């Protein structure tokens, strides 16, 4: 049998389901079975003919109402059973059929959407069987059993794919090596279903990462209190201040943060209501309806569930087996963890990139540490920030502690340069010398990446007190940089030449304010990811989608949800 990768290939094939017609007509007498044995025979022939028809004719009949996404794979599964029904037998559901339908009904608990798996159509057929009468003969209609069986098979294949790989596409840093699944893989999953049951099969397909299971553990609680009402959207930015205040008040009223909507609130009343909202969401409480606050006001529970689904899918892009020791940075939540044998050894606040200078998603290895580093601003910062400032006043460089260096390494007097000639780049390096005022602080963690970003200390440590910490140019500023450095060094080898451990040496260099580069032999993997919701103590905590990444994914891949 030839093998073929499933994703991104999706086949859209249709078949006619007469039972979904508005007219509840009696079943075609040719599909009515007089005995359970005849039901099995008729259902088998109908499954064979329906699948053959939709594959040959592309399934585009005039009254097609149900989309079969995986018709070719379904046909392969049925071929193993000579096209006999998989989920039912002789007018009865098999245990596998019942368990699969129950999973579909509860699939939101796995960050999935029931209607992706023909939930309503299958449910309608099952209800027909439960309320059958002699006049209707629904339960004896082989066409209904065949249709339901094909939909369940299609759902099974799609569930395997969605649970294992998710629905968002791979990106340049996806580390899974098994993202191209062969046809044989799906056939094997059906065999495992028969051997171990659906619950066990799903467990083998799910990712093992703690973050995934923490989110999953909070879904039931989220769904129990979810409010799927459509709230008033607050426009931002909005030039008409009166319109903005009117819609803001209406949204705050709908959420119970202000008690009236019949008359216009004054600025103090609006600010008070905004503060209540900000307190509830755990963001900076300043009473101002700025971009971040409005973005959270405009996020509905329906959109939040889609973010849950997207976040769980992002964990599916990680390697099936994570390193025994790694550093995890969530650029949405602005925190860092050191994980050792699945246990968090260190937790630190971090400051990540602003929306316009986002921290990139990446995977790399920390290869060295640098005490009292110099900072060489990347070209983007030079062109967008430093060049405009120095055009106004060349003294800006000295005030910020920057030196101007030419290609030969010679320092250049900024007052001797005709800055008006340059509009983007400059033929010089801008260097900020080592010291306590350096933007990188007194410790830098180096790892290879194409974005020129790294982890580092900062000379603006007061910013860690902010609730909203998306403030950097893209690098990750680490509050607990010293603990992180000593943890990395403590798991590295001894510095035999000096006779001291690397930690002792680094403490001395820091005390003496010396610049030193410390190579790391046991390189530590660093994962920088952007995940906007997390599970904590059985609850789901949502972070601001400050980069708009989840919004883009929602609009592109979950628009119909």
Rounded (5°) CA angle 122-125-126: 85
State residue 343's pLDDT score.
94
Catalytic residue among 16, 88, 352, 456: 456
pLDDT 10s digits, 472-492: 999 999 999 999 999 999 988
Handedness of CA 498, 501, 502, 503 (dihedral sign): negative
Give mean pLDDT, residues 356-367: 96
Query: What is the residue whose two structure tokens read 């010291």?
Result: 435
C-alpha dihedral over 216, 220, 221, 223, to 10 degrees?
A: 110
DSSP state of 465: G
State residue 7's pLDDT score.
36
Q: What is the mean pLDDT of the chain?
A: 88
Handedness of CA 420, 421, 423, 428 (dihedral sign): negative
Give mean pLDDT, residues 76-82: 94
| Annotation says 213 is catalytic | no
pLDDT band, very low/low/confident/very high, at 508 (cuts 50, 70, 90): very high
Residue 24 has pLDDT above 70, yes or no: no
| Annotation says 543 is catalytic | no
The per-residue DSSP string of 112-132 comes to --GGGGTHHHHHHHHHHHHT-
pLDDT 10s digits, 206-223: 999 999 999 999 999 999
Give mean pLDDT, residues 321-330: 96
Residue 22 has pLDDT above 70, yes or no: no
Indicate the range of 45-59, 227-241, 394-408 predicted with least confidence.
45-59
State residue 424's pLDDT score.
82
Catalytic residue among 16, 475, 533, 543: 475
pLDDT 10s digits, 182-193: 999 999 999 999
State residue 175's pLDDT score.
63
pLDDT band, very low/low/confident/very high, at 133 (cuts 50, 70, 90): low
pLDDT 10s digits, 488-497: 999 886 544 4
d(CA 498, CA 171): 44
pLDDT band, very low/low/confident/very high, at 12 (cuts 50, 70, 90): very low
d(CA 191, CA 349): 47
Give mean pLDDT, residues 235-260: 94
pLDDT 10s digits, 261-282: 999 999 999 999 999 999 988 8
pTM of the model: 0.84
> What's the alpha-carbon Rg for the chain, to the nearest Å?
30
pLDDT 10s digits, 419-441: 999 988 899 999 988 888 888 99
State residue 131's pLDDT score.
85
pLDDT band, very low/low/confident/very high, at 29 (cuts 50, 70, 90): confident
Neighbouring residues of 248: CB distance < 8 A, sequence distance ≥ 6: 234, 270, 274, 289, 294, 297
Residue 112 has pLDDT above 70, yes or no: yes
| Percentage of the chain modeled with pLDDT above 70 | 90
State residue 177's pLDDT score.
56
Strand runs (DSSP E) across 202-342, as ranges? 325-330, 335-340
Give the chain's domains with CATH numbers: 13-206 (no CATH), 323-371+439-553 (2.40.440.10), 376-432 (no CATH)
Beta-strand pair 325-330/516-529: parallel
d(CA 410, CA 403): 10
State residue 179's pLDDT score.
58
């Amino acid at each position: 049998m030839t093998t073929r990768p499933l994703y991104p290939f999706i086949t859209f094939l249709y078949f006619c389901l007469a039972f979904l017609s508005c007219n509840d007509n009696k079943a075609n007498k040719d599909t009515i079975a007089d005995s359970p044995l005849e039901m099995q025979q008729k259902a088998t022939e109908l499954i064979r003919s329906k699948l053959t028809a939709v594959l040959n004719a592309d399934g585009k009949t005039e009254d097609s109402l149900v989309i079969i996404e995986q018709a070719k794979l379904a046909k392969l599964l049925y071929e193993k059973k000579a096209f006999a029904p998989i989920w039912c037998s002789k007018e009865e559901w098999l245990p596998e059929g019942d368990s699969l339908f129950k999973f579909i009904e509860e699939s939101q608990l796995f960050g999935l959407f029931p209607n992706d798996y023909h939930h309503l159509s299958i449910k309608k057929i099952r209800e027909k069987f439960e309320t059958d009468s002699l006049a209707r003969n629904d339960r004896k209609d082989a066409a209904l059993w065949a249709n339901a069986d094909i939909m369940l098979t299609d759902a099974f294949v799609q569930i395997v794919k969605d649970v294992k790989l998710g629905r968002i596409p791979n990106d340049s840093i996806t580390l899974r090596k098994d993202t191209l699944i062969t046809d044989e893989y799906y056939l094997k999953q059906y065999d495992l279903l028969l051997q171990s049951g659906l619950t066990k099969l799903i467990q083998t397909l799910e990712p093992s990462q703690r973050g995934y299971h923490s989110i999953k553990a909070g879904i039931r609680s989220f769904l129990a209190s979810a409010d799927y009402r459509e709230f008033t959207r607050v426009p931002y930015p909005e030039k008409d201040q009166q319109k903005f205040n009117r819609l803001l008040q209406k949204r705050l009223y709908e959420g119970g943060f202000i008690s009236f909507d019949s008359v216009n609130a004054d600025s103090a009343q609006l600010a008070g209501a905004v503060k209540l909202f900000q307190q509830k969401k755990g963001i900076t409480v300043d009473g101002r309806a700025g971009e971040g606050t409005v973005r959270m006001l405009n996020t509905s529970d329906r959109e939040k569930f889609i973010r849950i689904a997207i976040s769980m899918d992002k964990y599916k892009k990680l390697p099936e087996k994570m390193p025994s020791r790694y550093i995890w940075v969530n650029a949405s939540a602005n925190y860092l963890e050191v994980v050792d044998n699945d246990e968090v050894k260190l937790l630190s606040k971090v400051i990540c990139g602003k929306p316009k200078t986002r921290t990139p998603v990446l995977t790399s290895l920390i290869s060295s540490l640098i005490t009292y580093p110099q900072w060489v601003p990347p070209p983007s910062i030079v062109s967008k920030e430093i060049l405009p400032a120095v055009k106004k006043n060349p003294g800006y460089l000295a005030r910020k502690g920057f030196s101007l260096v030419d290609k030969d390494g010679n320092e250049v007097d900024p007052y001797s340069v005709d800055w008006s000639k340059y509009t983007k780049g400059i033929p010089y390096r801008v260097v900020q010398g080592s010291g306590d005022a350096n933007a990188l602080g007194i410790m830098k963690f180096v790892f290879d990446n194409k974005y020129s970003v790294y982890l580092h200390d900062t000379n603006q440590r007061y910013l860690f007190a902010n609730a909203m910490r998306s403030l950097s140019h893209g690098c990750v500023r680490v509050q607990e940089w010293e603990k992180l450095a000593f943890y990395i060094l403590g798991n590295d080898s001894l510095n035999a030449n000096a006779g001291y451990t690397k930690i002792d040496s680094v403490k001395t260099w820091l005390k003496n304010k010396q610049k030193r580069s410390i190579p790391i032999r046991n390189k530590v993997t660093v994962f920088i990811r952007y995940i906007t919701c997390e599970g904590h103590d059985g609850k789901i905590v949502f972070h601001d989608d400050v980069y708009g990444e989840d919004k883009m994914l929602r609009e592109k891949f979950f628009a119909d949800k």
